[in-house]
Amino acid sequence: MARNCPVPFSSYSKLSLLVFINLILYPFTEGQTSGFSTHLIHRDSPKSPLYNPSDSNFERLHDAFHRSFARAQYFNKRISHSRSKLLSHFSSDSIQSNITSVTGDYLIKVSIGTPAVDVLAIADTGSDLTWTQCRPCIQCFKQDAPLFDPSKSTTYEQVLSCHAPLCRLDPGITVCYPGNICGYGVAYGDKSFSDGDLATDTFTFESSSGGNISIANVAFGCGHQNGGTLEETSSGIVGLSRGALSIIRQLNASIAGKFSYCLVPRNSNFSSKIHFGTNAVVSGPGVVSTTLYKKAGDTYYYLDLVGFSVGNTTIPYHFTKLDNSSPDDEGNVVLDSGTTLTFVPRQMYQPFESEIIDLTKGTRVPDPTGADLRVCYNKDNNLQIPKIVAVFLDADLILPPNNTFAEVSDGVVCLTIVPSDDTPILGNQLQINFLIGYDLVNGTVSFLPTDCTKNH
């Protein structure tokens, strides 16, 4: 490919763009249902192709902690494609995509094309575009499954014009190749990247209740140049953020802006599940709901964390950036499925940690993981952990001990909430055994404590 020449997009009317966005939100083509569920596979579960039986549960957990720190390090940053290899394709100002670590914790199986080709990808609420490696491959990371070959799919359609409305939905991702061909480029904080053609094809999901759900004309990236730290068993990313090109936004008309998931404990023999549409509604006794915030130019899922209560003491949210600037008052923490640990502002963490230590009955020990976890105890019959509640706007979330402490080595448990000088993140350890529903239409997130190993 020759060097990319970005085309300045002329302004379309808001009405035309809204009409087009509604046109690309295609209905389901099999079963004509507005709700379905499929499996989420934790990368460390026995059901995952990444599972290594020679690794102990503790080793897998330690790796997850280190991935969390890497992901958090980049979560609030922006990136331009400045790597020399990408500069041969993109101008320096053509891409401004959100950075997260691409090595998320959950995998999702999807089939692309007609006939369908199975793809195992990272399911990520912190990523926008769905993409997979494609033939012909200029540069690809090694993957176990065959590369998707668009020439063999009868339903594959490349977005041929940079002036096509689909190519204008997310200027932070889409680019224009010479010859007025629409492409895309994404880069991640762990130096993984993908660029190639923007296209549409049929996506088929395996329903957890049996059968398949096919969705026509889903926009995705067909990656011809990819690299970084992705594992051989994965083939790309399924973007679950609120970005214009994410799967969630593309299915909006069919799923009414609703999806939910229920994460099982990481050592469970059951799969977690993700639900869309009518299957994603979270209701019933015990449900608490809070406001879902959207920030300009950002596609993450933000909640308003008021503070934590430990025992009878409430520690209010407090965050001052290192540059002494004040972050937004509303929507101060990201709800993320791809990060294991929970990160809270250091100014808030200090009194939180002190209260935990004061009220916990047990024997403190050093962190055996090397991940710099600050609060660890011997796990024995004498250990008593105080009640911890995450206090959100209009919602108090009572956190069971297994959501805030994890057994990191034989007989040692550590607090999985850690201090940060960067973007606060509510990680997936804290979310286990909650049915968590996102409603993008009404702007809410709902939590229902439950046993996620049961069928929902």
User: What is the structure's pLDDT at 342?
Assistant: 97
Q: Give me the tens of pLDDT residue by residue for the chain, a chain 456 residues long.
A: 333 333 333 333 333 333 333 334 444 444 444 689 999 999 888 888 888 889 999 999 998 998 888 888 767 554 223 223 333 333 333 333 444 455 678 999 999 999 999 998 999 998 899 999 999 999 998 888 889 999 999 999 999 899 999 999 988 899 998 889 999 998 876 778 899 999 999 999 988 888 899 999 999 999 999 987 776 667 889 999 999 999 999 998 889 999 999 999 988 888 999 999 999 999 999 999 999 998 877 789 999 999 999 999 999 998 866 554 445 568 999 999 989 999 999 999 999 999 999 999 999 999 998 888 999 999 999 999 999 999 999 999 999 999 999 999 999 999 999 999 888 999 999 999 999 999 999 999 999 999 999 865
| C-beta of residue 319 within 8 angstroms of C-beta of residue 331 | no
> What CA–CA distance (Å, rounded) separates 13 from 94?
22
Q: Residue 353's CB: how many other CB atoms inside 10 A? A: 19
| C-beta of residue 215 within 8 angstroms of C-beta of residue 26 | yes
**Residue appearing with tokens 């979560």:** 75
| C-beta of residue 430 within 8 angstroms of C-beta of residue 405 | no
User: What is the structure's pLDDT at 456?
Assistant: 52
pTM for this predicted structure: 0.86
> What CA–CA distance (Å, rounded) separates 306 from 273?
29
> What CA–CA distance (Å, rounded) separates 106 from 93?
32
User: What is the structure's pLDDT at 232?
Assistant: 64
Strands (E), 16-156: 35-42, 78-79, 97-98, 106-112, 117-124, 131-133
For the record, the structure tokens of 268 come out as 């469970």
User: What is the structure's pLDDT at 454?
Assistant: 87
User: End-to-end CA distance of the chain, in Å?
Assistant: 47
Catalytic residue ranges: 124, 336
